[in-house]
Amino acid sequence: MKELNEVIRLVVLEKRDIVLSVVFGFLAGMSAVGLFASSGYLISKAALMPPLYALTVLIAFLKLFGFARALGRYAERYFSHRATFTILSNLRLSFYKKLEPHAPRVFQKYRSGDLLSRIVGDVESLQNFFLRVYYPPVVLVIIFLGTIVFTSIFSIGVATVLLVGLVLTGLLIPAWYTVKQRKLGNKVRHARGNLSTEATEFLYGFRDLKIYQQLDAKQENLQHAADAYLEEQEKDSMQMLSSHSWNTFVTLLVSWVVTGVGALLVAEGDLNGLFLAMLVMVSLTVFENAVPMAVLPSHLQDSKLASERLFSIVDGEGEDKGTLLLERGNAPEIVLSQVHYRFPGETRDVLKDVTITIPSGSKTAIVGASGSGKSTLLQLLMKFQTPVMGEVTVNGYDIQHVTEESVWQHSNVVLQENHYFYGTIRENLQLASDDSSEEEMISALEEVGLSFKLDQPVLEKGENLSGGEKQRLSIARAFLKGERLWLLDEPASSVDALNEKEIYKHLYERAKDDTLVLISHRLSGLERMDQIVVMDDGSVVEQGSYDELMKRQGYFYEMKQIENNIFS
């Protein structure tokens, strides 16, 4: 259960709602028992022809229990669901607090982009933990104890039988199925992942599969994966069903024993026959509360797996060890010396022996084909990654000793993918700085060629903006931040050439005395850079100003020739 410690801690925080749902759950359960007990008693009493007023009182009781049960059930549901959603909120918050210090470093560990939606899904599946795993046994036990105490007034024997029934349906059978469920493990999940991969390959690789005549074989694989997934799902459903059936059977069996024991006691004269019908009804009713126990094992297993996955994401992640703060107000100097980098778990270096000096206030362009290591280089400068070998220094300090926050605080960053939040243009710009004036924001937008109103809405992830608009908005955001180190990763790749020129003009004005590092795929417009660093396959192959490189007629020159040759 230690996987769930953290979750349990968060559940227990919601004391008030938990206590209320347990109280009302108990009330509803006991009223149901009372309702059926009194109806059993009523009918027996009626058979003995009592005075009419005795019946009237009993019927009044019956109604009372009936209403109490229905209302109790309503209140129980209300409070338990409210607790569940509050717990969901606590879970999100607690997970966010855990993840936040490690972002964005931790994201690099997972290449697939679905990490985030998986996190969201796992957190959401944990909301079931309270409702389906934690809460039902508690209510079950309390109701049973109440019922057993009540029953023992009439017959210790029957009370004992009920107690055995509680142990069986509330403990032994769920425990048995929990073990079995663990054996089934997450095969369903695995088979599902497999099918999804096969389907993705089939559809995305369709053209190549068709031409290479692999379509039939692949189709067969896909069908197999679909069948395997189905089989696992079926096994899972059958397991659930059989858990349910055994639970019901034991429940009925206990009522049978209660009937038998009751009948025996009455026949022997140890129990008044008036109460037999009542006891049978009590037994049939009280086990209604054991029904949720049938689904408990599978929810327990799901919760465990989800919790394990969630909290293992940040396991083994080191904290940022930097303590130094960068000084505000001067343009930093950055030096990379003999830097090597490789992604965790990979064998090949993506950066090999990279040495670059970026003087304070200089403008540097990093160019190269896709996959040459340009973006990884920028990530080292942003301290998203630390080199495997070699050193990155900022103003003479090893970047490892500088805090991440301080690096980010003092740089204007535009990444290839930038996030925009649901809200307005103004809110998205204000991320950069709270004290930008209206005029500053408008002029930043003008400089990047956007004619947005500040109150214009932005949808989630900026869905209502085009690629070029998003990039320009990011640049405007960087303009407003106004720090003295610029780190730009293909900031204008989706902007047309004319606008790009205009934006760069303003960029150079604003960054006149600042240190600027620009990653660019396009080779045009690099004439005014102080130095151009050419990367190929993780290494620096050339370095120099535009004129120098063109004169040298080396790698850069040839790339430039090819670019000139390309029709697009």
CA–CA distance, 300 with 522 (Å, rounded to integer)? 54
Q: What single-letter amino acid sits at 140?
A: L
CB of 501 to another protein, least distance (A): 8
End-to-end CA distance of the chain: 60
Q: What single-letter amino acid sits at 37?
A: A
Q: Give the residue, chosen from 421, 453, 496, 551, that forms a contact with another protein under the rule CB under 8 A.
A: 421
Q: Which is nearer to another protein, 293 or 413 (CB)?
A: 413
The owner of tokens 């809110």 is 427
> Could you tell me the sign of the dihedral formed by the alpha carbons of 345, 351, 356, 358, in that order?
negative
Q: List, in sequence order, every residue forming a beta bridge with 518; answer none if it has no partner.
A: 365, 488
**Rule CB under 8 A: is residue 466 a binding residue for another protein?**
no
**Rule CB under 8 A: is residue 241 a binding residue for another protein?**
yes
**Rule CB under 8 A: is residue 553 a binding residue for another protein?**
no
**Rule CB under 8 A: is residue 564 a binding residue for another protein?**
yes
CA–CA distance, 526 with 269 (Å, rounded to integer)? 106
User: Do residues 444 and 506 make contact, with C-beta atoms less than 8 angstroms apart?
Assistant: no
**Rule CB under 8 A: is residue 190 a binding residue for another protein?**
no
Q: Give the residue, chosen from 128, 147, 151, 259, that forms a contact with another protein under the rule CB under 8 A.
A: 259
**Rule CB under 8 A: is residue 435 a binding residue for another protein?**
no
Give the interface segment with another protein, choosing from 170-178, 243-251, 444-452, 508-516 (CB under 8 A).
243-251
Q: Give the residue, chosen from 10, 168, 394, 559, that forms a contact with another protein under the rule CB under 8 A.
A: 559
* Ranges within 89-148 binding another protein (CB under 8 A): 89, 92-93, 96-97, 99-100, 103-104, 107, 111, 116-117, 119-120, 123
Tell me the per-residue interface mask from 527 to 546 with another protein, x by CB under 8 A, - otherwise. x--------xx---------
**Rule CB under 8 A: is residue 485 a binding residue for another protein?**
no
CB of 201 to another protein, least distance (A): 6
| Nearest partner of 364 among 516, 250, 259, 552, judged by Cα | 516
Q: Which is nearer to another protein, 227 or 398 (CB)?
A: 227
> Could you tell me the sign of the dihedral formed by the alpha carbons of 214, 220, 223, 225, in that order?
negative
Q: Give the residue, chosen from 206, 467, 551, 552, that forms a contact with another protein under the rule CB under 8 A.
A: 206
Tell me the per-residue interface mask from 29 to 58 with another protein, x by CB under 8 A, - otherwise. ----------x--xxx-xx-xx-x--x---
- 165: enclosing H helix or E strand: helix 156-167
Chain centroid to Cα 242, Å, comes to 32
What are the Cα distances from residue 400, in Å, to 216, 380, 409?
53, 10, 16
* Ranges within 354-373 binding another protein (CB under 8 A): 368-372
Q: E strands of 267-316, at which residues?
A: none
Q: Which is nearer to another protein, 300 or 480 (CB)?
A: 480
CA–CA distance, 517 with 375 (Å, rounded to integer)? 11
How many residues are present in the chain? 568
CA–CA distance, 3 with 13 (Å, rounded to integer)? 18
- For 348, other C-beta atoms within 10 Å of its C-beta total 9
* Ranges within 298-317 binding another protein (CB under 8 A): none
User: Do residues 213 and 333 make contact, with C-beta atoms less than 8 angstroms apart?
Assistant: no
**Rule CB under 8 A: is residue 524 a binding residue for another protein?**
yes
Token digits of residue 137: 């046994």
**Rule CB under 8 A: is residue 415 a binding residue for another protein?**
yes
Q: Give the residue, chosen from 270, 327, 398, 405, that forms a contact with another protein under the rule CB under 8 A.
A: 405
Q: Which is nearer to another protein, 59 or 149 (CB)?
A: 59
CB of 26 to another protein, least distance (A): 17
The conformation of residue 380, written as its DSSP 8-state character, comes to H
Q: Which is nearer to another protein, 5 or 409 (CB)?
A: 409
215's CB contacts (< 8 A; 6+ apart) are 206, 209
Q: Which is nearer to another protein, 92 or 340 (CB)?
A: 92
**Rule CB under 8 A: is residue 208 a binding residue for another protein?**
yes
CB of 216 to another protein, least distance (A): 8
**Rule CB under 8 A: is residue 5 a binding residue for another protein?**
no
